[in-house]
Amino acid sequence: MMASWARRFCARRAGVLVSRTLEKSVGLVSSTGRGLHGPRGSEALARWGVCAEKLGDPREGPLFARASAAGALLLGATTLALATEGHPKPRVVHAEAVAPAPGRDLPVFSRGEVEGHDTLEKGIWVICGDKVYDITEFVQNHPGGASKIMLAAGKSVEPFWQIYQQHLGNPAVQEILGDLQIGWLDPKDVAGMELDLDRNDPYAREPKTHPALSVHYAKPVNAEIPPSLLMDSWITPNDLWYVRHHHPVPVEHIEGRDKLSLELGVSLGGSHTTQVLSLQDLKEKFEKKKVVATMQCGGNRRGGLNGVDDTKGTSWDVGAISNAEWAGVSLLELLRHMGVEGPEDAEKKGIKHVQFESHDGMTASIPIEKALNPYGDTIIAYEMNGVDIPKKNGYPLRAIVPGVVGVRNVKWLKSITLSSEEAEGPWQRGMNYKVFSPSVKDLNSVDIASVPTIQEQPVQSVIVSPQDGETLEVVPEEELEIKGYSWSGGGRGVIRVDVSIDSGKSWHTATLKEGSEQNPMRAWAWTFWEVSIPVPVSQGKVATKVDICCKATDYAHNCQPETPDSIWNLRGLNNNSWHHVNVNLDDVS
């Protein structure tokens, strides 16, 4: 049976084409403004199969012989009647009489031209291989939603299909695209999709950032997940993990080496001892430990603080957060291997911090208490979601410190050092990850060293759907479906999420979904939530605008603050104020 979305698309497609036929006849114009004159136009119309005798229900008769569940248009009509001004006699085109054209007569477009068609107003073009397609009329009928397919607007669809692999080799998808091709990609740009590397550029060998990510900076890469993709999967696919680099990926240090290794050191009282374990040693001599943990950048939602006053840093929205299953060696076991038997032994030796150093020179540290906590689940990971950690995510080794700010989860791990001191460097002792008072507008008179750096993060919740500024078609009897994520640092499970559609005057308790089954004292991963709230009606009329907000409460009964004003800070860190989205309601009853 034809899926409802496919029927709607078919009906809409036919309506558009018949309307255009009756209006323009000979000078048929596509959504791109390009004419479909002559044989090519006749062929396209014949393949679309519009039949003048059937202008009633477009789902009946030969006009729509069938449509696949994936949305292919396999339209089986045989005739098209054109009778408009200048053509008093209908001209009939028989589909059977039109031989399929090879398509090489289509125009050639540059990559730049395609990139310029990324809005509904300009037309939505995409690239697949060496072909260019105009998908404008299909966008609103995409089974995965318009917001997802719009991520590929003006780009290649192929990187997205590596994630949504149901598209690969699917004949139904090819049927749709066959009718939507408008041209070919310039051969120079086809080759240019794999640009020659500039060896003088320190970023020349950077792993590719998935085009679905919203990129704030390309060098170094700062990129987050769009809201439309955040909750597609409780475990975030590796390609879609948010990226926060401070330097180029140290490719020369992690590629082409016969023996990848980890240096373990103890630096106390002026003495320094080291030993080295190879990557193979870590895999073979220690038990593999797994942990599912969410990681959040300290600057997630910084953009919301910029509405109070300017901050210093990347203006992240809500997508600098991701979740994965990590596997590797327990840090507690490594400390025992280094001769630290437990908390008393560490205290006796004066060990207060575990320092991590990356191959890119970045350094950070965590308190020894976290490392030695048998329930802390800190590991040195070599796998991410069942495969070797991708280069952009920290290959070959990454420190995974659940419940702690992302920057302490050091990528491309080179060494671990036990010390009485915190790690040196701006990411630990400098201003970068320190939260100052809202009254501090500059650091001229601030003793930066006296301010503790961020470790555990506060309770957080975010609305993912609907999105800010979205218009929803509703009727008074319907309910608004609202979804989002929640998380709290330190392994504190989220016990409740409250949602309001009247700016916080009244509240509805959401249903906690994936992640809610975690131990509330070791809830390292986020929890998804959703709630259905009746469409607001006043004096018989649906409200035209709605302010939706949410707040979470964790296992320690910490709750999100109402406004960002009281937690504003110069660096724009740890914004966990109530999250708001404003949506428009369109009464279609």
pLDDT of residue 550: 98
Residues 81 and 130 grouped into a single domain: no
Position 170 in a domain: yes
pLDDT at residue 502 tops 50: yes
Position 259 in a domain: yes
Structural element, H or E, at residue 268: strand 261-268
Residues 48 and 84 grouped into a single domain: yes
Residue pLDDT, tens place only, 314-348: 999 999 999 999 999 999 999 999 999 999 999 99
Residues 6+ positions from 298 with CB-CB distance below 8 Å: 405, 406, 407, 433, 454, 457, 573, 574
pLDDT at residue 453 tops 90: yes
CATH code at 474? 2.60.40.650
3-state secondary structure of 550: strand
Residues 263 and 341 grouped into a single domain: yes
Position 235 in a domain: no
Buried-state track 377-396, b at ≥16 Cβ within 10 A, e below 16? bbbbbbbbbeeebebbbbbb
pLDDT at residue 141 tops 50: yes
Distance of CA 265 to the CA centre of its chain: 37
Position 447 in a domain: no
Residues 370 and 466 grouped into a single domain: no
Position 198 in a domain: no
Residues 297 and 358 grouped into a single domain: yes
pLDDT of residue 539: 87
Amino acid, single-letter form, for residue 258: D
Active site residues: 142, 167, 244, 297, 433
- Identify the domain boundary among 140, 158, 192: 192
CATH code at 162? 3.10.120.10
User: What secondary structure does DSSP assign to 359-386, as a single string?
Assistant: TTS-EEEEEHHHHH-TTS--EEEEEETT
User: What secondary structure does DSSP assign to 448-495, as a single string?
Assistant: GGGSPBP-B---EEEEEESPTT-EEEE-TT-EEEEEEEEE-GGGPPEE
- Identify the domain boundary among 59, 76, 97: 97
Residue pLDDT, tens place only, 454-474: 999 999 999 999 999 999 999
Residue pLDDT, tens place only, 392-441: 999 999 999 999 999 999 999 999 999 999 999 889 999 999 999 999 99
Residues 268 and 408 grouped into a single domain: yes
Query: How far is it, in rounded angstroms, from Cα 349 to Cα 368?
Result: 12
Query: How far is it, in rounded angstroms, from Cα 399 to Cα 408?
Result: 8
Position 12 in a domain: yes
CATH code at 414? 3.90.420.10
**The pair of three-digit structure tokens given for residue 167, joined into one six-digit string:** 């598209």
pLDDT of residue 167: 82
pLDDT at residue 22 tops 70: no
pLDDT of residue 259: 65
Alpha-carbon distance values, 270 to 266, 336, 344, 416, 422 (Å)? 10, 22, 21, 17, 15
Residue whose pair of structure tokens reads 């012989």 in the numeric block: 65
Position 232 in a domain: no
User: What secondary structure does DSSP assign to 182-207, as a single string?
Assistant: EEEE-HHHHHHTTPPP-TTSTTTTPP
DSSP β-bridge partners for residue 401: none
Tally of domains within the chain: 4
Residues 405 and 473 grouped into a single domain: no
> Could you list the residue range(s) of the whole structural domain that residue 500 is in?
460-587
Q: How confident is the model at residue 146 (pLDDT cuts 50, 70, 90)?
A: confident
Total residue count of the chain as it appears in this document: 589
3-state secondary structure of 162: coil
Query: How far is it, in rounded angstroms, from Cα 544 to Cα 435?
Result: 39
pLDDT of residue 37: 33
Residues 295 and 169 grouped into a single domain: no
Nearest Cα residue to 415 out of 589, 277, 547, 282: 277
Buried-state track 77-89, b at ≥16 Cβ within 10 A, e below 16? bebbebeeeeeee
Give the strands of the sheet with 271-278, arranged side by side.
Answer: 271-278, 261-268, 413-419, 353-358, 363-367
Answer for the pair 462, 433: CB distance below 8 angstroms, yes or no. no
Residues 84 and 132 grouped into a single domain: no
Structural element, H or E, at residue 224: strand 221-224
pLDDT of residue 97: 29
Residues 366 and 493 grouped into a single domain: no
Residues 6+ positions from 5 with CB-CB distance below 8 Å: 71, 141, 143
Averaged pLDDT score across all residues of the chain: 83
Q: How many helices (H) and strands (E) does the chain have?
A: 14, 33
pLDDT at residue 57 tops 80: no
Query: How far is it, in rounded angstroms, from Cα 285 to Cα 296?
Result: 31
- Identify the domain boundary among 192, 217, 244: 192
Residues 113 and 79 grouped into a single domain: no
Residue pLDDT, tens place only, 156-175: 988 887 666 678 778 878 88
Amino acid, single-letter form, for residue 395: Y
Section 215-224 average pLDDT: 93
H helices of 181-330, where?
187-192, 227-230, 251-254, 279-285, 302-306
Buried-state track 179-199, b at ≥16 Cβ within 10 A, e below 16? bbebbbbbeebeeeeeeeeee
Residue pLDDT, tens place only, 360-384: 999 999 999 999 999 999 999 999 9
Query: How far is it, in rounded angstroms, from Cα 303 to Cα 581?
Result: 13
Residues 89 and 135 grouped into a single domain: no
Residue 72: Cβ-neighbour burial (10 angstroms; 0-12, 13-18, 19+): buried
Position 205 in a domain: no
Section 510-529 average pLDDT: 98
pLDDT at residue 101 tops 70: no
